[in-house]
A and B are shown apart, each in its own frame.
Chain A
Amino acid sequence: MLRSFLPAIALLVCLPLSAFAHKVWLLPSQTVLSGAEPLVTVDAAVSNDLFYFNHFPLRLDNLVVTAPDGSTVEAENQATLRYRSVFDVPLKKEGTYRIAVNNHGLFGSWEEDGKRRRWRGTPESFAKEVPADAKNLQVSESIGRVETFVTNGAPTENVFKPTGKGIELVPVTHPNDLYAGEKGTFRFLVDGKPMAGLTVEVIRGGTRYRDTQDDVQVTTNEKGEFTVEWKEPGMYWLETSAQDSNTQISQAQNRRLSYAATVEVLPQ
């Protein structure tokens, strides 16, 4: 029992997919900052409730913090605890930082000596670790992005330059300029191109203290854009996912894409 359970946990922790119904999130201590060298501390977790770390930590192996000038910043005091990971990000430069956990992995299974073998790796390690003659090989590729944004001083847009890989968010409304009673519009790209028809789920934090999720579902239009009306201030989680067959390696049959972001909506 334990044996089959452990890989499941490993998958869950490393692969943010809506299929698991667990929510993957980064929670910054605050998003709008000022001062000589402000600091944010961030919780990273996988849970059902927003934003309560009561299930699994989100692994920080693929944590990337991007400064307003595009340079990469090392997150300080990284630790993965039982229910959450934590780290600090000093904001030495003025402008908007992107804090992201970007996972790009392959999941394979095949038959060996009459048993099903499971494998997890990257496009690079695939050739080395998976036998070329693997029987009934099934491979799926996964690109997942979990993000949040924080701004020291005035918001800037440099960190939103798309990489062209997987699902990416491009602001029409800056994610650190959201206020209750207003609307926020964002664009989703898949492999760098605006993606219509994505279903986006938006949930405000604090779910423990209400009876319903109060989730809002919106769909991206032909420009890849969706708009959310922020009825109340709070930390919001927004998520979307997609499947296609545009895999990086030919052995993979399908590709799963996911995106989750935490944004803060301030009161007026």
Chain B
Amino acid sequence: MLNKLTLLLVTIAVSFPAVTSLHAAEVEVSVEIPRLNVSEYHRPYVAVWIQDENRKVAANLAVWYQLDDKGSEVGTKWLPDLRQWWRRTGRSLEMPVDGISGATRPAGTHELEFSSSDKKLAGLKPGQYTLVVEAAREVGGRELLEIPFAWPVEKPFKDEVRGKEELGSVRLTVTP
């Protein structure tokens, strides 16, 4: 158990080196990957991004996919299964992307924190946005959840949506 937890923390630390304790977190995203009782389970591919009112990607926050087989790039082959993410941004990116690409995560709740000085959020102009979390699983399904929000906020903003199949709870917290 301890080993698994350590591994998880290391994974998060490796995936998000830009996050340091010096900055107050302004955007927190929590993504729950549900534990599924299926005979053949593969960890889902997950993409997290912020889009504007024209569904243009304003910030790419994370994409988790199979990274381990770098030589054959077999992992990137299935990235288009994250259909919306692929269309909106993935297909024009050179993978892997520093600070965005990460390995697939196990079932459980995963927290992402971004400070407003993070270069991913630095380009966000004041306006209406939507947080989008998309998950696609091999021999499984695909699900997309959205949380609309305004940026920046004057008082703390909190919202939560629940997936039915491939995603559990997705929470967004924005603090001024």
A residues near B, CB below 8 A? Answer: 32-36, 38, 151, 153-155, 177, 179, 266-268
B64-99 interface bits toward A, Cβ cutoff 8 Å, 1 = contact, 0 = none: 000000001110111110011011001110000000
Q: How many chain B residues have a CB neighbour from A under 8 Å?
A: 15
Which residues between 75 and 132 of chain B lie within 8 Å of chain A, taking CB atoms? 76-80, 83-84, 86-87, 90-92
Chain B residues lying within 8 Å of A33, measured Cβ to Cβ, are 77, 80
Contact check: which of A35, A154, A179, A268 meets B92 at CB < 8 Å? A154
Please tell me if the beta carbons of A34 and B76 are within 8 angstroms of each other in the complex.
yes
**Taking beta carbons and an 8 Å cutoff, which residues of B are in contact with A?**
72-74, 76-80, 83-84, 86-87, 90-92
Knowing A153-B91, A153-B92, A154-B92, the reply to whether A268 touches B84 (Cβ < 8 A) is yes
Q: Are A179 and B76 in contact (CB under 8 A)?
A: no
A35 near B87: Cβ-Cβ < 8 Å: no
A34-B77 CB under 8 A given contacts A153-B91, A154-B91, A154-B92: yes
Max count, chain A CB within 10 A of own CB: residue among B76, B78, B80, B83: B80
Known: A36-B77, A154-B92. 15 other contacts (CB 8 A): A32-B86, A32-B91, A34-B76, A34-B80, A34-B90, A35-B76, A35-B77, A36-B72, A36-B73, A36-B76, A151-B91, A153-B92, A155-B91, A266-B83, A267-B83
Q: Which residues of B contact A155 (CB under 8 A)?
A: 91
Q: Report how far A151 CA is from B90 CA in the complex, Å.
A: 13
The 10 closest A-B pairs by CB, nearest first: A35-B77, A36-B73, A154-B92, A154-B91, A34-B79, A35-B76, A32-B80, A34-B80, A153-B91, A34-B76
Q: How many pairs of A and B residues are in contact by the CB < 8 Å rule?
A: 36
B91 adjacent to A38 (CB under 8 Å): no
- Could you jot down 12 A-B contacts, CB within 8 Å? A33-B77, A34-B77, A34-B79, A34-B91, A35-B73, A35-B74, A35-B77, A177-B87, A179-B87, A266-B83, A267-B83, A268-B83
Closest residue of chain A to B72, judged by CB?
Answer: A36
Q: Which residues of B contact A154 (CB under 8 A)?
A: 91-92
B83 contact set on A, CB distance < 8 A: 266-268
